[in-house]
Amino acid sequence: MNEMANSVTSINSQATGDNVLVVNNMKKYFSTKDKDCFVKAIDDISFTVRRNEVVGLVGESGSGKSTTAYSIMGMHSITSGEVIFKGQDISMLAIKRPKSLKREIQIVFQDPGTSLNPQRKIGEIISMPLRVHNIVPRSQTEKRARELLDLVGLPQDCYYKSPRSLGGGEKQLVAIARALTTNPSLMILDEPTSALDVSIQAKIITTLMELREQFDMSYLFITHDMSLMRNIADRIAIMYLGRIMEMAPTADFFEKPQHPYTKMLVSSIPVVLQEEEDLKPVQVESQGEIPSPVNVPPGCRFNTRCPEKFESCLVDEPQMVKVFPDHYVSCHMHDPRT
Amino acid sequence: MVEQKQPILRIEDLYINYKVYGGYSYVIDGLNLNVFPGEKIALVGESGCGKTTTVKSILRVLPKQAKIAGGSIVFDGHDVLNIKPNELNEVRRRKMSMIFQDPTASLNPVFTIGKQISDSIKYSGLADRKDKKAIKERAIQALNDCSMPDPERIMGNYPFQLSGGMRQRVCIAMALATASKFMIADEPTTNLDVTIQDQVLKLIRNLTDEKDMSLILITHSMGVARMMADRICVMYAGNIVENAKTEELLEKPQHPYTVGLMNSIPKLTGDSILSGIPGRLPSYLTPPPGCRFSTRCPHAFDSCFVKKPPFYDIGNGHQVACYLHDKSVPQSIKEEAVSNE
Ligand SMILES: Nc1ncnc2c1ncn2[C@@H]1O[C@H](COP(=O)(O)OP(=O)(O)OP(=O)(O)O)[C@@H](O)[C@H]1O
Ligand SMILES: Nc1ncnc2c1ncn2[C@@H]1O[C@H](COP(=O)(O)OP(=O)(O)OP(=O)(O)O)[C@@H](O)[C@H]1O
Ligand SMILES: [Mg+2]
Ligand SMILES: [Mg+2]
């Protein structure tokens, strides 16, 4: 446990003044019907998001990416660890956070269908936070809401439509417009473009990147689209079963992936060009059982699928070590203790 | 070879409108599509171009605001638009399975995953209705096939207790467990990480190959289309604008919309400037009279604004709905149009 704590200080030790978000040893366990069993959705993760930075959070479905997002938002009470935003401890639930901090962190959800109230018109959905947080004078609300529609590329006639009458992609655009209402400084984007086609995605991404410059925002960007990450992220963290396995600057992540899971992931990316195919490492076939977060395997949690495992991997949890500048990996092949 | 068989699905001149605030949305606009037995098709195109609307019409599961205003759909000998309710149920349960786009909306929040999968297996006629044990085994097997961790526990869970990707895999498992002749998959893997996506797609591919099933796969990922489909149909604003074999389409896209789409794909090479396609889909309330892409097309000229272009066959099974391929249009006009960019 102590060793873990040490390594953690090292991953966050570069913590300079320009960290917007610092997450230290965060855990989130969900209880199950069986009192002694927990779903270890997040099992001790630490990372930072710097000012004006795009951090990509990728990894297995069910590895805890959304839970990480919800925990930072204060929608889940975390089991242990701390969340620090601009130097202030915000480990508590959202309802207990100061209102000013709440509006500084916004989220766009994974599932556009369920995050928009079907009873309300799009105009109302976007106007609501403008009113609640007094962003613009009341008389300007509709004007600002319509500007936001424009900003995300939705036609004005959406103002009076209900979410139900929109395509999946259009709904996500509404959610993005809604998140922009409070001019947040940290935006958590939970697969914001996975329901959009590439041409709209391109527009949204360009818009998001411009807004980031303009308003000095940071993004924690959750996605499964590795090619997109390649183009927009500054650093990427990869999660597996509740834990960060590797975190690296983007170029490093793709050019010298260290963790076998990262290699597996990068080699599975579907691409359109032969040129891209050539950049991928040799295909690492996924093998073995995918474990459940209720019964995390002893040792390294990736050992059931790892093609390169050896004895230590079945016994000890590897610690996070620095392998290159700003590049950390949690794998016995790099663990100096091994 | 495939071409000589009769299509298992033939959609002809399909028109679908939605009743909306302020009038009608004329969404599907004379769409034609053939799918042959065993053929795998990818349907790609901008959000809102009508992909889901098209495939929902095949199963007759459109929302009540939708009206099929014309055309015909024939599936495996059934005239789908004039079908009797029990015949339709038979088709839905026994011949076709669909993975819906929104996994949360297609799962019932008040029933456990186990009950929902078991029910669909029960009604598909693929297992004895009374043999609870066999049904349960089949359900667990289906979840296992989709790389779901801990299927037995998941069976007792409610949808809200699962991650997005897990819900999606439940829907895929359900469709795969009951699949027989024809499968429609509406963006089945958008919530999955690439390693699981890879496994699930291979599973769908193997299963459909094994049973010689046809597949319509809706996706936003050209990479996924490349991996899965024999043919890619590109849709724009309610119509198919380009249709070609996968390799051909990716290497030689012809329609200006397809070209824009290809240029919007983020590349692993990392140097892609994500430009997108300027402008947006036209309003379906008052769609442009000519080519629906004319309002955004860098190459549009007079004819494009007047009349909808027909499909031009440019060989090798490649079809494009664009006047740039009309032989009767003088070369000089085309050249001027192309240089307009
Ligand atoms: N409310 C809850 N109750 C119990 N378990 C939960 C709850 N929410 C999430 N989980 C579990 O926590 C784990 C992580 O889920 P999470 O939604 O964070 O995954 P994710 O990484 O976002 O996956 P995806 O890529 O599929 O969206 C999963 O095993 C999930 O079943
Ligand atoms: N129930 C409805 N009422 C009114 N309009 C609708 C309804 N459902 C869909 N539409 C409209 O029909 C058009 C096509 O929608 P559809 O869902 O078929 O698009 P799609 O191609 O599947 O998009 P996506 O990629 O976003 O899923 C959209 O403009 C949408 O707004
Ligand atoms: Mg998620
Ligand atoms: Mg759709």
The alpha carbon of residue A219 is apart from the nearest alpha carbon of chain B, in Å, by 18
Q: Which ligand 1 atom is the nearest neighbour of the CA of B168?
A: 26
Q: Is the pLDDT of residue A223 over 80?
A: yes
User: Using CA positions, which residue lies closest to atom 3 of ligand 2?
Assistant: A165
* pLDDT tens, residue by residue, B74-108: 999 999 999 999 999 888 888 888 888 877 778 88
Q: What pLDDT does residue A176 have?
A: 84
- How many Å apart are CA A193 and CA A224, to the nearest integer? 10
CB contact under 8 Å between B190 and A153, yes or no, is no
- How many Å apart are CA B99 and CA B176, to the nearest integer? 9
Neighbours of B159 (CB within 10 A): 20
The band of B328, judged by pLDDT with boundaries at 50, 70 and 90, is confident
Higher pLDDT, A65 or B196: A65
Q: Contacts of residue B274 in chain A, CB cutoff 8 Å?
A: 201-202, 205-206, 231
- How many Å apart are CA B166 and CA B143, to the nearest integer? 10
User: Using CA positions, which residue lies closest to atom 16 of ligand 1?
Assistant: A64
User: Using CA positions, which residue lies closest to atom 17 of ligand 1?
Assistant: B163
The stretch B286-303 carries a mean pLDDT of 93
- How many Å apart are CA B226 and CA A100, to the nearest integer? 47
The stretch A196-222 carries a mean pLDDT of 86
The answer for residues whose C-beta is within 8 angstroms of residue A206's C-beta and 6 or more apart is B274, B275, B276
Kindly state whether A212 is in contact with chain B, defined as any CB-CB distance less than 8 angstroms: no
* pLDDT tens, residue by residue, A290-328: 788 888 899 999 999 898 889 999 999 999 999 999 999
Among A69-73, B57-61, B64-68, B145-149, the range scoring the smallest mean pLDDT is: B145-149
- How many Å apart are CA A85 and CA A88, to the nearest integer? 5
B161 secondary structure, DSSP code: G
Q: Contacts of residue A269 in chain B, CB cutoff 8 Å?
A: 194, 223, 268
The alpha carbon of residue A101 is apart from the nearest alpha carbon of chain B, in Å, by 27
Query: Chain A 40-99, CB below 8 Å of chain B: which residues?
Result: 58-63, 66
| CA-to-CA separations, B338 to A26, B255, B292, B297, B323, in angstroms, rounded | 56, 12, 18, 10, 12
Q: For residue B111, give the amino acid letter.
A: F
Kindly state whether A288 is in contact with chain B, defined as any CB-CB distance less than 8 angstroms: no
Q: Are the CB atoms for B76 and B39 separated by under 8 Å?
A: no
Sequential DSSP letters for A139-180:
GGHHHHHHHHHHHTT--GGGGG--GGGS-HHHHHHHHHHHHH
Q: What pLDDT does residue A13 have?
A: 53
The stretch B29-34 carries a mean pLDDT of 95
Is the distance from the beta carbon of residue A166 to the nearest atom of ligand 2 less than 6 Å?
yes
Q: Contacts of residue A194 in chain B, CB cutoff 8 Å?
A: 190-191
The stretch B232-253 carries a mean pLDDT of 96
**In angstroms, what is the C-alpha Rg of chain A?**
21
The band of A253, judged by pLDDT with boundaries at 50, 70 and 90, is very high
CB contact under 8 Å between A276 and B267, yes or no, is yes
pLDDT averaged over every residue in chain B: 89
Kindly state whether A122 is in contact with chain B, defined as any CB-CB distance less than 8 angstroms: no
Query: Chain B 116-145, CB below 8 Å of chain A: which residues?
Result: none
The alpha carbon of residue B205 is apart from the nearest alpha carbon of chain A, in Å, by 15
